Every structure is written in C-alpha cells, then in structure tokens.
Structure 1
C-alpha cells in the first residue's frame, strides 16, 4: 500500500471546513484502487469503509467525514472504473467490487469495519457483507441496496439508462474547462440551493483529460455492467441474506429532486424485508444526492455510522 500526499488542484479550492484526507493506493486484481482516508484523532478508533454510487467517487463522502469529526477513521475508495481508479480494468460487476473491498480491508490491517454504501455502493455493501461476513462489525445502507423486480419485457440496459439517464449522458460528454463542468452540475435540479465546497470538490475529482476536452473518469462499460448487475442474480437478494442487522436510510426525493424518491414506505413494505434484519429510516428533506452530500443528510448518515461503530455522537 502506498500513500499519496493530498496535493491535487481541487484541494486548494476547498474551504477550511472540508477535512483533510490522505490518498492511499491499494493493490487489487488488475491494478490499484485509489482510496481516500480521513483519519481519526485516535489511531485505535473504529474504521468505516464507505462505498460511493454508480458514477461517483470517494470524495462524495467528504461531508460525512466532516460530521464524523475525527471520531472514527473514514475510508472511501474510488471504485474500479471511477475517479482515480478509472483505469483499473474489468471485469466489472458488484461481486468484483465486493471482493475488491475485502482486499482494501486486508490492506488496511484491521480486523473488521463498519461498512456503508450509497446507491450502487449500498448494493455493493450488502453483497460484501454476504460474501465476506467476517469483515463487518456494522452495516449502514444509504438510499440503495433494496432492489425491485424488473417489469417483464423491459431490457435491463434500457431500464438503467432510463433511471440514471442524465448521469449516463454525462459520460459521453466533454467539457472545455472545469468551470464548464461546475456549471453543468450547478444546473442539476437535485443540487438547487445545495451547492457547497464539498459538492465542488467531489465533482471536480471526476474530471480527467486536458482542456478543452475534459471528461468524466467513469468507464461506461463499468457503469453499464454494475447497473445491470443490480437488477438480477445474487445482488438484489443480498439484503435479505445479511449476516448482521443493518439500517437503511432513504431519501424523501429522487435523483432529479422529484417528489417520488427511490423508496417510500409502501415500496419498502412490498419488498418484504425482515424488520429485525433491516431497519428503515426516512431522512426528510433530502434527495438521492443530498442525503449524502447535503449538510443535514450527511449529519444523519454520520450519526448512524457512529452508532454502528459504538462511538458516542453529538
């Protein structure tokens, strides 16, 4: 495992409230994952391993790190095919990510971690728990991890494009400079009134290439493979086979800020989850993005992570 000093160009634009982090490089099959780490004040504190969404990167967890305030160590990889792990080749798929996370935990040299994931990362966290149960001491799912049956006759690839269409389109776009990419995201309805240094640092980490042809670091093949993986096979059923109880935090609104979120009480009831295995909690006033990167959403996520780690919150 190697360590990279935090000297990227986006770091200088963050304000003092954004906590400093290290960047580690963890060997996995085919290459190395870039892994962000916000260290605890106490080196012996519990470790939280946090997994991002389908077109995101590890810096999406920075605001949660702010609210954790050094009481635990937060570790957030750029998953295979994204961010600074964008060049790690396939095969892709949720099971591959799960096995990559086992390699991350082994490299960190800790016995067990509190595992959490947002959106696709929640599906990955659930499957990691099933495939590697000895690695976990707690599990928190954030607006993801519970799947629903695909309607008959619907092509899975078309369904994924319909659900995350704007994100998919972004992967084939180029941008002349970083300001243009910022403007693209600031026009996203989910971020209306919620822009912050945390959001800016997170979206800027996604860019690769040179001006005037900057583009997203995300591999389109990885996104398609992982997206379809969530719809069938072992992945959507993992949440019903967890080796330990989990909490599912769900957002009130959806990916575009629309009133209907990915989950609601009726849909979760219809999913048939064991309430002793998965406790569900609404996070009011949040959408699919701001439940993680907005101030109130990040505060609630941090509180649940501290509780799962057995650390007193404030």
Structure 2
C-alpha cells in the first residue's frame, strides 16, 4: 500500500495475456472507474483525479509495456490494451465501468467502448481520442517525435541519479510549474534501472506499436465516431511543452464533426496537455467523470 497525493493507493495485479497487469487502485464505496494513461505515462498520472473523486472506486493500470507492466510481452498495440482492460474488469467481477482516457489512453478508451459498448457505457476523453492531421513519412520514431517531442527523446536517455531525473522533469515547461506530490509521484513511477544508468521503464517497441495505431489505424481513428461510444471530450488549451499550439483547437474539433448529443467537446482553459490532470484543472475532469457516472 502506497500513498500518492492525499489519496491512499493500493497496488494490485490482474491476469492478462502473458502475465499480470499492474494496477493502482484508489478504493471507494462508489461506482467503478477505470483510467487509462498516455503513451509514455503510468497509472499515477491519475492520482490527483483520485483525490478529486472521493468515494469513487478508481482503477488505473500501468498499460502493457510501462512501469509495473513493463515485463508483459508483445504483441503490443491499442487492441492489446483494450483486451487487458476487459480482462481487468473480469478479474474485478465488474460488468461495466466508466472509462477515463488521457492522450493515447483516450484512443484506447474510445476503441474499448466501440468494441464493448455494454462494458464501457460512458467515456471521458482527455486531450486525446481524435485523430491528428497526416504528418507524412513512414519512420514511426520520427512521427512520434513530431507529436510528443521530449517524451519520445526521454526513452533513450539515462540519468546518473534519481535527483538528476527529477531535475529533468522540474525543468519541463509543462510540468515544472505544477510540481508537487502528484507530479513527483507520477514521474518517479516511470524510473527504473540502477545508477548511473537510470532510465524510463517504457518499452520502446510498445510505444512504437501504440503510436502507429494512434497515428494510422483505421479502426482506432474511427472509434470516437461509433454510435456506441458516448461521453465527453475535454481538450487542453495549450500543448505538450505548454506552447500555444495544442494537440487540438476549435477548428480541428469542429472538423471532426462529433455528434454533440453523443460526444460533446469543450476546452479546459488555462491548461496544457499534462496540467489538465493536476490541480486545479483536474476538478473539471472530475466533474465530467461524475456526469458520466450519473448518465451511465
């Protein structure tokens, strides 16, 4: 049992293909929610959301190829994450759950709801789930770097000490200004290896496979438009480096032609791609989750 922020987190595992999926649970007597993180992230990305949802029974897996689930084998890809999420529900004895997905996790959430609308009746998609304009080229590493930038660079870096690793993130323009227990716990969960060669736990082949699906898999890109996928899309005002150009803007969201009755979309002002999950903006995500629970 560990703590992250003010919420008491418990570590558990669930049987999935090839081994066991690591899951962080913030237990509650209320309805179940499963939260799916981004492409180089981990379960503790949702610690602040757990704090903002007292009583909700929140489960956040380390997705296959990351953190506590880094040893799970391929094949990777978003379909594998969907299968793992269904296996988690089965292990917990749950018929259904609301899904929250951030960044790549939003694509997984939409795909899961498209494939299994009876298991995932409502989704909250946070700064993800809508396809991006074609980037051109075929080198997946180059394409991912164009989209996620330093998050991709970090996977090939080593750090002499945990202090150096934390200093790297403290200098991150999108994370540093929001530094606190939630952010520190989140980034520390990804650290593995031994000094002086500490590194990210993310498996590069998993990141590549998942990124290829986000950028070009037809089923993944169509998922948010499927009639069984119901919920809300929340998008951040600023980008991955806190730059003015965000992953989404009003024009891109409008061009997606989402059904406003089935998947309304709104911007969370004053946020970037990461800070949307940390205080104070996370309260808006929590409100969307509560709405999804009420409607589901």
Please give the TM-score of this superposition, normalised by the length of structure 1: 0.90
Checking the alignment, whether the CA contact within 8 Å between 2:174 and 2:275 is kept in structure 1 is: yes
- Following superposition, the deviation at residue 281 of structure 1 comes to 1.2
- Following superposition, the deviation at residue 242 of structure 1 comes to 4.2
SS at structure 1 position matched to 2:174: helix
Query: What residue in structure 2 maps to residue 78 of structure 1?
Result: 62
In the alignment, which of 157, 164, 169 is matched to residue 173 of structure 1?
Answer: 157
Please give the TM-score of this superposition, normalised by the length of structure 2: 0.95
In the alignment, which of 252, 271, 284 is matched to residue 286 of structure 1?
Answer: 271
Q: Where in structure 1 are there 5+ consecutive unaligned residues?
A: none
How many residue pairs match? The answer is 293
- Displaced runs of 4+ in structure 1, greater than 6 A? none
In the alignment, which of 184, 204, 207 is matched to residue 223 of structure 1?
Answer: 207
Q: Where in structure 2 are there 5+ consecutive unaligned residues?
A: none
Indicate whether 1:155 and 2:143 are aligned: no
**Mapping of 1:254-273 within 5 angstroms?**
254-273=239-258
Between the aligned partners of 2:72 and 2:128, the Cα distance in structure 1 is 24
**Mapping of 1:1-314 within 5 angstroms?**
5-6=1-2, 11=3, 17-40=5-28, 42=29, 45-70=30-55, 72-151=56-135, 153-155=136-138, 157=140, 158-232=142-216, 233-292=218-277, 294-310=278-294
Between the aligned partners of 2:143 and 2:177, the Cα distance in structure 1 is 29
Cα-to-partner distance string for 1:61-93 (whole Å, 9 max, x where unaligned): 0000011122x1110000000011011111000
Between the aligned partners of 2:69 and 2:132, the Cα distance in structure 1 is 29
CA RMSD of aligned residues (A): 1.4
- Following superposition, the deviation at residue 304 of structure 1 comes to 0.9
Checking the alignment, whether the CA contact within 8 Å between 2:47 and 2:182 is kept in structure 1 is: yes
Between the aligned partners of 2:69 and 2:89, the Cα distance in structure 1 is 17
Checking the alignment, whether the CA contact within 8 Å between 1:150 and 1:156 is kept in structure 2 is: no
Checking the alignment, whether the CA contact within 8 Å between 1:156 and 1:231 is kept in structure 2 is: no
Cα-to-partner distance string for 1:177-211 (whole Å, 9 max, x where unaligned): 11111000011111242111100001000011112
SS at structure 2 position matched to 1:235: helix
